[in-house]
């Protein structure tokens, strides 16, 4: 069986050049600015390698996390609390708008780490797998930057300015990443095509609230979310494609195996309304969409 796209390595790169080793390095980087710059530079180099028909990574190497850096790397703030304890975020006040943007900014920061983790953690995959997730990491870094710049530009009471880290957040995305650390099929099933796919459903609802708010900053946020939604369709499609490739390689039925994985790992139950059009563009089948509606 052939992978969804094909790139044939000619020779293994050295550790200093290996994109999987570099993905681990930037995953463990705690400073958001350094992480964003590093990921974007890595993706530019990987693109140059592809144009020159050079391999970007050695799929046969198992990398170990450094002992002196956290996994994942993230700043001391925001403070992390239980998902149910995160207060509501209304876009109809300046502070509520800031809290909402901060929440999405936190999701995008986590998404950088999720994509980097997929690159370094799982050996033995086609090189196209690593290129796909490095592209995702770079695009998530762009999303984080757009949202953080928007957050920093808001004018709060008494001239207050916000930044990433100023509101409480939760760790739900990384929790599932950690749960699926030893199972690449579960990772593809439950992170990009379950948790991250929820953004396809949630983003139009958030945009509708922002449009009702109607302020210039609300409309600016809507435009940023248009970019994010466009790219996230592609990210979820990558998760769908590799999940199906892995299921076919292992002789698994994708729909039935997903049911088993969702139960085994206690994936959160998804609820309508679903963005059916975006999910179809992201590669969900009619059977998978029917399962979502039956599982309510």
Instruction: Give the whole-angstrom CA distance, residue 167 versus residue 285.
Output: 38
Ranges of each domain in the chain: 91-294
Mean pLDDT of 58-65: 91
Six-digit token pair at 169? 């957040």
Query: Largest alpha-carbon pair distance within the chain?
Result: 62
Picking from 29-43, 45-59, 82-96, which range would have the lowest pLDDT averaged per residue? 82-96
Please identify which residue in the block is written with the tokens 């945009």: 207
Q: Is the peptide bond before 78 cis (omega within 30 degrees of 0)?
A: yes
Please identify which residue in the block is written with the tokens 């009619």: 286
Is 163 in contact with 73 (CB distance < 8 Å)? Answer: no
Six-digit token pair at 216? 């210039």
pLDDT band at 10 (very low <50, low <70, confident <90, very high): very low
pLDDT band at 83 (very low <50, low <70, confident <90, very high): confident
Is 282 in contact with 197 (CB distance < 8 Å)? Answer: yes
118 pLDDT above the threshold of 90: yes
Six-digit token pair at 256? 């039935």
pLDDT band at 13 (very low <50, low <70, confident <90, very high): low
Instruction: Give the whole-angstrom CA distance, residue 106 versus residue 144.
Output: 8
pLDDT of residue 2: 46
Q: Which residues pair with 80 in a beta bridge?
A: 169
Q: Of 72, 44, 232, 227, whose CA–CA distance to 150 is shortest?
A: 227
pLDDT of residue 8: 38
The backbone torsions φ and ψ at residue 133, rounded to the nearest 5 degrees and listed phi first, read -75, -25
pLDDT of residue 6: 36
Class of domain 91-294: mainly alpha
Is 237 in contact with 282 (CB distance < 8 Å)? Answer: yes
In tens, the pLDDT along 39-52 reads 999 999 999 999 99
In tens, the pLDDT along 138-194 reads 999 999 999 999 999 998 777 788 999 999 999 988 999 999 999 999 999 999 999
Compute, in degrees rounded to 10, the torsion defined by CA atoms 287, 288, 294, 296.
-170
In tens, the pLDDT along 130-145 reads 999 999 999 999 999 9
Is 293 in contact with 272 (CB distance < 8 Å)? Answer: yes
275 pLDDT above the threshold of 60: yes
64 pLDDT above the threshold of 80: yes
């Amino acid at each position: 069986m052939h992978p969804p796209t094909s790139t044939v390595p000619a020779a293994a790169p050295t550790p200093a050049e290996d994109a999987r080793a570099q993905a681990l390095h930037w995953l463990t980087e705690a400073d958001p600015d350094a992480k964003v710059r590093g990921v974007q530079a890595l993706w530019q180099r990987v693109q140059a390698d592809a144009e020159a028909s050079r391999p970007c990574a050695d799929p046969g190497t198992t990398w170990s996390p450094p002992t002196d850096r956290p996994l994942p790397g993230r700043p001391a703030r925001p403070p992390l609390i239980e998902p149910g304890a995160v207060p509501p975020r209304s876009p109809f006040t300046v502070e509520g708008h800031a809290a909402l943007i901060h929440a999405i900014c936190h999701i995008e920061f986590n998404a950088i780490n999720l994509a980097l983790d997929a690159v370094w953690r799982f050996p033995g995959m086609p090189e196209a797998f690593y290129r796909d997730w490095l592209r995702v990491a770079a695009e998530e870094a762009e999303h984080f930057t757009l949202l953080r710049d928007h957050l920093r530009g808001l004018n709060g009471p008494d001239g207050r300015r916000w930044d990433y880290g100023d509101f409480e957040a939760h760790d739900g995305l990384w929790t599932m990443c950690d749960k699926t650390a030893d199972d690449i099929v579960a990772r593809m099933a439950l992170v990009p095509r379950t948790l991250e796919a929820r953004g396809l459903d949630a983003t139009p609802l958030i945009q509708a609230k922002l449009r009702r708010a109607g302020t210039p900053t609300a409309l600016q946020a809507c435009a940023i979310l248009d970019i994010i939604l466009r790219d996230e369709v592609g990210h979820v499609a990558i998760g769908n494609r590799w999940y199906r490739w892995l299921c076919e390689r292992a002789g698994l039925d994708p729909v039935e195996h997903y049911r088993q994985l969702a139960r085994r790992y206690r994936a959160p139950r998804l609820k309508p309304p679903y963005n059916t059009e975006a999910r179809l563009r992201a590669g969900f089948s009619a059977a998978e969409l029917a399962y979502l509606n039956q599982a309510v």
